[in-house]
Amino acid sequence: MKPVEHRIIDSPPPSASACACDTFDDGRPLQDRLPVHCFGCGTLNAHGLHIKSRWLGDELVCVWQPRPEHIGFPGYVYGGTIASVVDCHAIWAALSLHCREAGHDLSSGPPPFAVVTASLQVSYLKPALVAKTLELRARVVTQGERKSVVACSVRQGPLECATAEVITVRVQGLG
């Protein structure tokens, strides 16, 4: 089976105001610092979505280009694909904050814990065109020892296409 061709769009590079949320930031997207096989974000998954997320201030930003196979209604992104991208992006926001608190550099390998989705609620506001890039902005609203709540906005230019609330949980011993 021939591998899927990906047009990777990297998220904006960090600025001078890059987040104090990631004390180990080396300028690379989070997903390039910790390669995984996840469908949504894994650099090691030939058929995945290959999102790239970077901290800009207190928001984790991802710019992602849907491919033609991500179509739902003709010309528009399938809602499940939007949910998948939001899910992974929010997980990275919570994971990187948990790593900061634990003093773990993602570039040194997987942390001794995982962060998983407990709840994902997406509100679809406007259809998103397959032909245009999506910009996701996630912000950790509350961060506890195990549970985090992440708010995410999905936009195409000035148009907000979706909002989401993702509840994540830090767990030990997966794998």
- The answer to whether the beta carbons of residues 110 and 153 sit under 8 Å apart is no
- The answer to whether the beta carbons of residues 143 and 150 sit under 8 Å apart is no
Per-residue pLDDT reduced to its tens digit, 88-124: 999 999 999 999 999 999 999 999 999 999 999 999 9
Q: Which of 10-19, 23-32, 46-55, 135-144 has the lowest mean pLDDT?
A: 10-19
Tell which phi-psi region holds residue 93, choosing left (phi > 0), alpha (psi between -120 and 50) or beta.
alpha
- The answer to whether the beta carbons of residues 107 and 26 sit under 8 Å apart is yes
Distance between CA atoms of 53 and 38, rounded to whole angstroms? 14
Beta-carbon contacts of residue 163 (< 8 Å; ≥ 6 apart): 122, 123, 125, 151, 152, 153, 154
Distance between CA atoms of 32 and 30, rounded to whole angstroms? 5
Closest CA relative to residue 8, chosen from 41, 37, 55, 36 = 41
Match 């609203």 to its residue by tokens: 141
What's the confidence (pLDDT) of residue 24? 81
**Does residue 152 carry a pLDDT above 50?**
yes
